[in-house]
Structure 1
Amino acid sequence: MYTATPPQVRRTGQSRAAYLTLWMFLLVNLVIVEVMFVNPSRPAPNTLTAIGRFLGLHLGFVMALQLLLIGRVPFLERRIGMDKLTNWHRWTGFTIFWLVVLHPTFVLLGYSRLDQISFFAEIPNLAEQMPVLLGMIAAGLVCVMAFTSVRMARRRMSYEAWHATHMVVYVMIVLSVIHQVYEGSSFASSTLTKAYWWGLWAFAIGSLLVNRLFVPLARNARHRLRVVAVVPETDQAVSVYVGGDRLDRLRARPGQFFWWRFPGHNSWWQVNPWSLSAAPDGRTLRLTAKAIGSTSAGLRQLPVGTRVYIEGPYGALTTASRTRQNALLIAGGIGITPIRALLEDPDLTGDIVVLYRARTPADAVLIGELRNLVQARGARLHLLTGRTTDGSQPFSPESLRGLVPDIAERDVYLCGPAAMAATVQRSLRALRVPARQRHIEAFRLGV
């Protein structure tokens, strides 16, 4: 029989601290940027170029902010969660796109008026200067990334293709920094502003290198991860067991995920975020994936002994964010993996209800394990099958209230496709479930 530790209701102080830190970083730096703009090293020749400089200065700051968001800073990833950070990343990306469009537009308009030539004639005129040309190339790369991030384009691309396209972000960063070195005027007005500006970029680039390169390299060298077993779960899903040295030192928690690479089996740039589908025990890690892209489909052919390279653990879908005694766990499709792991967490106490959405009973991955865990914990499981086109609306406010009458008094953990997550979010708001009680990870693309 499952024995749990005494109930422990967690507070959301860590999450609030992370949000406060992020917002304070944003606001303080914006104030500094405004002060820098009004004290440039050289005045703009006219109003149009001044507007262009204003937009360019803010573009540089927003790009540094974006680096921090894609840098997988543990302080943010483990307290805010990938889902919310991905939303920040997405909106910051579109802000960069519009600034990239408007900044050169106003600069070109200003210089075309100054040189008394047409807008289009000014383009090759400025492009003769190498720093400006590099900035134009960087702007073109930003436009490519923005186009591939549009929902219609994303739906037509595999995750692997989308991720490979977004690797050009690193080329764009290099070109942008070179452009700023030669063209910056607002942050070159004094030694202090130069120190601030390059300190900001050093912090952003340093965070990226440390968290996405140096720390993962050190951890993987220490733990020496290898595939120890590959177990088919259904015709479309497979579990991969990974062993290594001293895995307890990873401090991974049920509900978290890693970014996984399999060097030697896949290309080095192929990386996927997969949640742990079982609570880490210090000896092995287990992921369970559905054959959606080429990488996940190829997991069945992973030879035992294949090297594994991970980044993480990440994610805030853990019991550390609990605010209530009882919990509702909701999963859609392969989103059952972190939910199944959470059921093994001894800190998940109280009355537990699990809602598992699958197209058919045969599509319910890990259903046998789930039923055993639910029975051992005295929890309740509802397997919700069928198509919404047949009139089934399992996540409408009425359906959720019918299945879990006290839903507003529970912590709600959710993992599933983005469309399903959006539907559940709307219903939770309609049912007046406070935001602090909603813990969500949706399937979204992340760099």
Structure 2
Amino acid sequence: MTTLSLTRPRVLARTGLCAVLGANGALVTVLFAEAGPSAHPLISVGRLFGLYGALLMAFQLVLVARLPWLDRRLGMDRLTSLHRWTGFGVLWLLLGHMVFIAFGYAGLSGVGPVGELVTLAETTEGVLQAIVAFALILMVGVVSARVARRRLAYETWHFIHLYTYIAVVLAFSHQIAVGSSFVESPFARAYWWALWGGALGAVLLGRVVLPLWRNFRHRLRVSAVVPESDQVVSVYVTGRNLDRLPAKAGQFFIWRFLAKGRWWAANPFSLSAAPDGKSLRLTAKALGDGSASLRHIKPGTRVFAEGPYGAFTTMHQTKQNALLVAGGVGVTPIRALLEEIRGHVVVLYRVNKQDDAVLLRELSDLARSRGAVLHLLTGPVTALDAHGNVLLSPQNLSGLVPDVSDRDVFVCGPPPMTAAVLRSLRELGVPREQVHAERFSLAS
């Protein structure tokens, strides 16, 4: 089989990001060299660390700006992962900046590094701002650790992350006040103003301007709330000019239902039907207070939706045929994808018991109408089939889908199930570029 696209969107986006970061890193190094050496070698090292840290901070802003071009190609999950690791890079670079600067000036003055740092904060403009910025970044880094992240509600975690923007402003003010490459070179000043302006402009565009414009343009409202089972509900949303909304099957929105007691809650839910230009549908299971209260929303309620987001779409299909693997309520984007995806399709839907199979009748009808094959797998991830194989083992997958290595595989479900499927696909030798799984993680 030949691939459907010569240039894969994900590869193009990753290459572009690396090229932009690399080019800026090289330019920052040149600007640093042109500024000349400092009075002490440790001070020079510290300043270089600070410049690289400032560059990475600006890069981080672009990663969380939710720019449509990047999000459609990499997905919020991968962008969040990049944001997380560059965040730790920023933290270590700024720590190195502070330590080397303090030890460098201490070597010149004969005072201890801690005392020298206190003196610099008291006597040098911009240093105190830098220390406060580092403390804020350290706090954000702590709450970003997986252990802390699991214990925090999304709204709390998001609110704490807003302090990053204060840190950015403080760090830039420090750079303006004492940065040698900034102060002494007109070109360097223009470059850093353009870099920070572009990064903050990207955040303003992706996080504020686009959501406000789209919601003003489409005027979304709830048109119907339909219970699918005791724990699952579908919400239908209508609006104006929905044919102009650039949403695709497999994507998700961050929904806010502007009703009393709910307007502050932001919940990411996937589309459970391919957009048809007339309405949008989300289907959610009662897993928390936000999703459980959806069945009480009244038709006519205004909706503020951010998105569409996600790279879990047919844009990334590289083969003529596909395998769709769903688990539990993770079937919602899979069911939507089944409407749009090309070629022959096999669907594997795993649930603990048949009563848990959300949208099964719709899925069956849709599979029948387009000639797809649907397998319902019931039981825990570790359950055995009639032949003694684990449901999602390599043996069972290859038995159900003999040509799996020649298909794109889209996986959406609970983390243990997704991990089991990905392990089996690796053992079967399915190329990474043909495997598409997204956890829909939210960056700050």
TM-score, normalised relative to structure 1: 0.91
RMSD: 2.4
Does the 8 A contact of 2:237 with 2:280 survive in 1? yes
Whether 1:351 and 2:351 are equivalent positions in the alignment is: no
1:81 counterpart SS class:
helix
Does the 8 A contact of 1:11 with 1:322 survive in 2? no
Whether 1:162 and 2:160 are equivalent positions in the alignment is: no
Deviation of 1:39 after TM superposition, in Å, equals 1.9
Does the 8 A contact of 2:182 with 2:188 survive in 1? yes
CA distance in 2, matches of 1:316, 1:443: 9
1:5 counterpart residue number? none
1:282 counterpart SS class:
coil
1:71 to 41, 55, 65: 65
Does the 8 A contact of 2:76 with 2:440 survive in 1? no
Deviation of 1:389 after TM superposition, in Å, equals 5.6
2:43 counterpart residue number? 49
1:296 counterpart residue number? 291
1:425 counterpart residue number? 422
Does the 8 A contact of 1:266 with 1:295 survive in 2? no
Whether 1:404 and 2:398 are equivalent positions in the alignment is: no
CA distance in 2, matches of 1:303, 1:309: 15
1:100 counterpart residue number? 94
User: What do residues 319-357 of structure 1 show as CA deviations (whole Å, max 9, x unaligned)?
Assistant: 222221110001223221111101122xx2322111123
Whether 1:260 and 2:232 are equivalent positions in the alignment is: no
1:21 counterpart residue number? 16
Does the 8 A contact of 2:176 with 2:183 survive in 1? no
- Answer with 113-122 or 62-71: which moved more: 113-122
Does the 8 A contact of 1:417 with 1:443 survive in 2? no
2:223 counterpart residue number? 228
1:137 counterpart residue number? 132
Change (3 A) 1:210 1:445: closer
Deviation of 1:423 after TM superposition, in Å, equals 3.5
1:153 to 148, 151, 160: 148
Does the 8 A contact of 1:100 with 1:139 survive in 2? yes
1:343 counterpart SS class:
helix
1:333 to 320, 325, 328: 328
2:134 counterpart SS class:
helix
Deviation of 1:117 after TM superposition, in Å, equals 2.1
Whether 1:361 and 2:358 are equivalent positions in the alignment is: no
1:116 counterpart residue number? 110
1:260 counterpart SS class:
strand
Deviation of 1:418 after TM superposition, in Å, equals 4.1
Does the 8 A contact of 1:256 with 1:316 survive in 2? yes
Change (3 A) 1:423 1:103: farther
CA distance in 2, matches of 1:432, 1:117: 61
CA distance in 2, matches of 1:69, 1:25: 12
Whether 1:436 and 2:405 are equivalent positions in the alignment is: no
Does the 8 A contact of 2:381 with 2:417 survive in 1? no
Whether 1:86 and 2:80 are equivalent positions in the alignment is: yes
2:363 counterpart residue number? 370
| Aligned pairs for 1:198-237 within 5 A | 198-237=193-232
1:182 to 154, 164, 177: 177
Does the 8 A contact of 2:176 with 2:182 survive in 1? no
1:324 counterpart residue number? 319
Matched letter for residue 374 of structure 2: L
CA distance in 2, matches of 1:234, 1:149: 36
Change (3 A) 1:444 1:121: same
CA distance in 1, matches of 2:103, 2:417: 46
Change (3 A) 1:303 1:58: same
TM-score, normalised relative to structure 2: 0.91
CA distance in 2, matches of 1:141, 1:327: 46
Change (3 A) 1:108 1:369: same
CA distance in 1, matches of 2:238, 2:390: 41
* Structure 2: runs of 5 or more not aligned: none
Does the 8 A contact of 1:12 with 1:321 survive in 2? no
2:31 to 27, 36, 47: 36
Deviation of 1:121 after TM superposition, in Å, equals 2.3
Whether 1:173 and 2:132 are equivalent positions in the alignment is: no
2:107 counterpart SS class:
helix
Change (3 A) 1:143 1:383: farther
CA distance in 1, matches of 2:168, 2:287: 31
Whether 1:60 and 2:57 are equivalent positions in the alignment is: no
Change (3 A) 1:333 1:89: farther
Does the 8 A contact of 2:273 with 2:335 survive in 1? yes
Matched letter for residue 353 of structure 1: V
Deviation of 1:83 after TM superposition, in Å, equals 2.5
Q: How many residues align?
A: 438
User: What do residues 20-53 of structure 1 show as CA deviations (whole Å, max 9, x unaligned)?
Assistant: 221211111111111122122x642312222211
Sequence identity of aligned pairs in percent?
Answer: 51
